[in-house]
Amino acid sequence: MAHSAAVLGGGIGGLAVARFLFRAGWHVEVFERSESLPTSGTALGMWPQALGALDAIGLGDRVRTLGTPQHRGSFLRPDGSVIGTVDSTARTAYLLSRPSLLAELAGALPEGMISFDTPAPPVDALSEYDVVIGADGLRSGTRRRLFGDEFEPVYTGATAWRGWVPGRRDTVSETWDTGALFGITPREGNLVNWFACVRTDTGSEDGLDYLRSRFGDWHADVRAVLDAITPDALLHHDLYDSPALPSYVAGNTALIGDAAHAMAPNLGRGACEALVDAVTLGRFLLSDNDIRVSLRKYDRARRRVTRRLVLGSRAMASISMTGHLRSARDLTMKLAAGLA
């Protein structure tokens, strides 16, 4: 008799683990509260570990074909002068937008496996499934039911705007200043992806006019993007990360992705780690008939490493937008670039 899994959330991690288990012969149902897959979203960097996870579910080559390879990146000052340049040829990442990645993940599943417009049932109402996988994101109801309210995400002190404009670009840049940064990357479909981050109080409703005022005297590449932004291609989110959970599992339930370890975007690893979670969990579930033993192995394999990434992303955010330690930051980046 086939094992069964309820996946609570149809985002990147949820669809990836559904694909992995389905390919292994499991009966899988995905509950997704949104009415459909998103049509907007910015580019995500798929680093080698994430590409390996995508290979494990048969989608790695497809993502390499659709995505834009990222070989080099520059860290700049607002006047355009270079802090450091990193050559990542040996560890090529591929940039692919969130809607495109989700479409590929969903398209690899049989029709009807994803129940859209269906909020996740409470964990205790899913006793007929062998395993329940909480992939329900930053505000995870599954996490709250398992561990209570004390592990809700914490505001990082920064808010972000993201979007895309027409054009082509071959390189990646991130420009750093006191309390703010601005990134520009390639994106598939003859588009340029961009993101901006500012340290401010939570709940800011500032929009395009504010961005043009805040970054309008930065170097020419930033100004060109600002001039091309339209309100319909502009996303705005406060940034949160997760406090350390005592475990990623409880009973026959496991948390993956942002439900377990939401992190600031400064290392570009959130989506990657959701994919790695999904495949790691899937492999352990196939390796042992005892579900709870498998879940404990998953927790040991993923909790410590993802916690380091949460802290590392938080530290990178502080470093990139520092004011008092800019000279030390710039020297560190130059040294790091020279060793890359």
Q: Does 287 reside within a domain? A: yes
- The enclosing domain of 219 has a CATH number of 3.30.9.30
Q: Does 110 reside within a domain? A: yes
Asked if residue 186 and residue 150 are part of one domain, the reply reads: no
Which residues have CB under 8 Å from 89's CB, separation 6+? 71, 72
- The enclosing domain of 277 has a CATH number of 3.50.50.60
Q: Does 146 reside within a domain? A: yes
pLDDT digits (tens, 9 = 90+) for 242-271: 999 999 999 999 999 999 999 999 999 999
Secondary structure in 3-state letters for 34-84: CCCCCCCCCEEEECHHHHHHHHHCCCHHHHHHHCEEECEEEEECCCCCEEE
What is the band of 85 on the pLDDT scale with cuts at 50, 70, 90? confident
Asked if residue 292 and residue 208 are part of one domain, the reply reads: no
Asked if residue 146 and residue 293 are part of one domain, the reply reads: yes
pLDDT of residue 331: 52
pLDDT of residue 205: 79
pLDDT at 108 over 50: yes
Helix (H, G, I), strand (E, B) or coil at 9: coil
Rounded CA-CA distance 194/182 in Å is: 7
Q: Does 101 reside within a domain? A: yes
pLDDT digits (tens, 9 = 90+) for 180-235: 999 999 999 899 999 999 999 888 778 999 999 999 999 999 999 999 999 989 99
Q: Does 164 reside within a domain? A: yes
pLDDT digits (tens, 9 = 90+) for 28-78: 999 999 999 999 898 999 999 999 999 999 999 999 999 999 888 899 999
Rounded CA-CA distance 314/293 in Å is: 32
Q: In terms of residue numbers, what domain contains 162?
A: 156-240+323-339
pLDDT at 294 over 80: yes
Rounded mean pLDDT, 102-117: 97
pLDDT of residue 336: 44
Number of domains in the chain: 2
Rounded CA-CA distance 82/80 in Å is: 6
Asked if residue 191 and residue 56 are part of one domain, the reply reads: no
pLDDT at 89 over 70: no
Task: Supply the DSSP symbol for 23.
Answer: H
Name the residue with higher pLDDT: 317 or 294. 294
Q: Does 203 reside within a domain? A: yes
Asked if residue 300 and residue 246 are part of one domain, the reply reads: yes
Rounded CA-CA distance 98/34 in Å is: 15
What is the band of 330 on the pLDDT scale with cuts at 50, 70, 90? low
Q: What is the mean pLDDT of the chain?
A: 92
pLDDT of residue 323: 66
Contact 2, 25 (CB under 8 A): yes
Contact 226, 216 (CB under 8 A): yes
Contact 186, 193 (CB under 8 A): yes
Asked if residue 149 and residue 24 are part of one domain, the reply reads: yes
pLDDT of residue 327: 60
Asked if residue 145 and residue 55 are part of one domain, the reply reads: yes
Asked if residue 232 and residue 182 are part of one domain, the reply reads: yes
Asked if residue 130 and residue 64 are part of one domain, the reply reads: yes
Rounded mean pLDDT, 293-319: 95
Asked if residue 233 and residue 219 are part of one domain, the reply reads: yes
pLDDT of residue 335: 45
Question: What one-letter code names the amino acid at 332?
Answer: T
Q: Does 84 reside within a domain? A: no
Q: 255-264, 284-293, 328-337: lowest mean pLDDT where?
A: 328-337
Strand order in the sheet with 191-199: 82-87, 72-76, 172-177, 180-187, 191-199, 154-166, 234-241
* 36-40, 114-118, 122-126: range with highest mean pLDDT: 114-118
Asked if residue 302 and residue 167 are part of one domain, the reply reads: no
pLDDT at 334 over 70: no
Q: Does 80 reside within a domain? A: no
Asked if residue 271 and residue 175 are part of one domain, the reply reads: no
